[in-house]
Amino acid sequence: MRIKGFVLRIIQQLFRDKRTLALMFLAPILILTLLSLVFNSGDYEAKVGLVNVPKPLEAKLDTDDFRPYTNEKEALDDVESGSLDGYLTFENPSEPHIVIEGSEPSINGAVMKKVQGLFSANSMNLSDQVEYVYGDKDMEMFDSFGPVLLGFFVFFFVFLVSGVSFLRERTTGTLERLLATPIKIWEMVISYVIGFGIVTLLQASFISWYAIYVLDMMMKGSFLNVLVIIVSLSFTALTLGILLSAFAKNELQMMQFIPIVVIPQIFFSGLFNLDTIAEWLSWIGRVTPLYYAAAALRDVMIRGFDFQHLLINLSILIGFSLLFMILNVAALKKYRKI
């Protein structure tokens, strides 16, 4: 009977905690649904251009699925802007030359498969005629996914540590004592962000250094630019962690935000090709910080872009941080009223 009573008490406690029930039943459903939608999407259709195809050869080839270009510069501009995956040009009818964007191995393979289909009857080996705008033929999947994973792990651990640390400030009574002083709420928020941010800066720098120089992750651009992106992402994760901790009563409830807020971002950050999933679903990435951080990291680490090409993504990350800081000020006002 004692065991029965104890079991009933545990079950009753669980059913009173609506957040735990939602975590147990709804969070797995959400993540499995996202996985299903991402992995069951169609095959990627490579966007390939044709430049100045010789007339005799054009009559023999099925070029309906290829974009025609009158000169190579236009095609190269589209490759660099991301609207074209690669193009095929001819020095002479017997020597085709392929230019591929090169930043993602799976897309590179799709381009080669599509181009090879033009010459299936001749079984021509085109691997020696390939030029990569970014990356190279030895680029591996880890090099492609590395920038996204680097951003994700930094975001995840900064979010977790900052949220739990700020929650402890509340549960130990430190926050209430501070709110009893004349300090303004916005001053308190900035102080917390700077304090946690110094440690976050050291953590982000170490993780970036280890990934690039120890694990030998591909690095075409400036390490300093990588640090700027990682630090901007860290402050976004920091301010978001502090914000959500205001709505948690203990560490368990803080952990419950992870499957809802953090994990879904990995699916829409560029780790999987968003061009293959439904349009109504792909927009989710554009409202998440990791989407812009991963894009900026890929631009630096794989494409070698300089700082001026990162300004849009960095501005959006800073905008997220400022938004979360403003919301933090609003959230902390309820504790001062109490």
Tens digits of residue pLDDT in 198-223: 877 888 888 888 888 888 888 888 99
Using DSSP bridges, classify how beta strands 48-51 and 95-100 pair: parallel, antiparallel or unpaired.
unpaired
Instruction: Specify whether 207 is located in the same domain as 326.
Output: yes
77: which 2 tokens? 């501009």
336: pLDDT strictly greater than 50: yes
231: which 2 tokens? 């630090």
* Separation of alpha carbons 297 and 61, rounded Å: 39
Cβ(225)–Cβ(300) under 8 Å? yes
Residue 22 lies in a domain: no
Instruction: Specify whether 184 is located in the same domain as 88.
Output: no
- Rounded mean pLDDT, 159-173: 80
Instruction: Specify whether 296 is located in the same domain as 198.
Output: yes
Residue 95 lies in a domain: yes
Query: Of the residues 104, 132, 160, which one is the last residue of a structural domain?
Result: 132
Cβ(88)–Cβ(48) under 8 Å? yes
Residue 293 lies in a domain: yes
Instruction: Specify whether 128 is located in the same domain as 168.
Output: no
Instruction: Specify whether 156 is located in the same domain as 92.
Output: no
* Separation of alpha carbons 124 and 114, rounded Å: 13
Predicted confidence at residue 112, as pLDDT, reads 81
Instruction: Specify whether 54 is located in the same domain as 165.
Output: no
- Rounded mean pLDDT, 247-254: 78
Share the mean pLDDT of the chain.
79
Residue 220 lies in a domain: yes
Q: Is the pLDDT higher at 34 or at 264?
A: 264
Instruction: Specify whether 252 is located in the same domain as 208.
Output: yes
Residue 278 lies in a domain: yes
**pLDDT band for position 229 (cuts 50, 70, 90):** very high
Instruction: Specify whether 150 is located in the same domain as 70.
Output: no
Query: Of the residues 132, 159, 188, which one is the last residue of a structural domain?
Result: 132
Residue 17 lies in a domain: no
Instruction: Specify whether 170 is located in the same domain as 105.
Output: no
Residue 288 lies in a domain: yes
- Which CATH number belongs to the domain containing residue 128 in this structure? 3.40.190
23: pLDDT strictly greater than 70: no
Domain that holds residue 56: 48-132
Instruction: Specify whether 159 is located in the same domain as 273.
Output: yes
- Rounded mean pLDDT, 74-95: 80
337: pLDDT strictly greater than 60: no
Residue 34 lies in a domain: no
Domain total in the chain: 2
In this structure, how many other beta carbons lie within 10 angstroms of the beta carbon of residue 129?
16
Q: Is 18 exposed, middle or buried (0-12, 13-18, 19+ CB in 10 A)?
A: exposed
Sign (positive or negative) of CA dihedral 225, 154, 244, 290: positive
Query: Of the residues 132, 157, 184, which one is the last residue of a structural domain?
Result: 132
Predicted confidence at residue 121, as pLDDT, reads 53
Instruction: Specify whether 193 is located in the same domain as 127.
Output: no
Q: Is the pLDDT higher at 319 or at 67?
A: 319
Instruction: Specify whether 120 is located in the same domain as 165.
Output: no
Model confidence pLDDT, tens digit, residues 265-316: 888 787 777 666 666 677 777 888 999 999 999 899 888 888 988 999 999 9
Predicted confidence at residue 213, as pLDDT, reads 86
**pLDDT band for position 338 (cuts 50, 70, 90):** very low
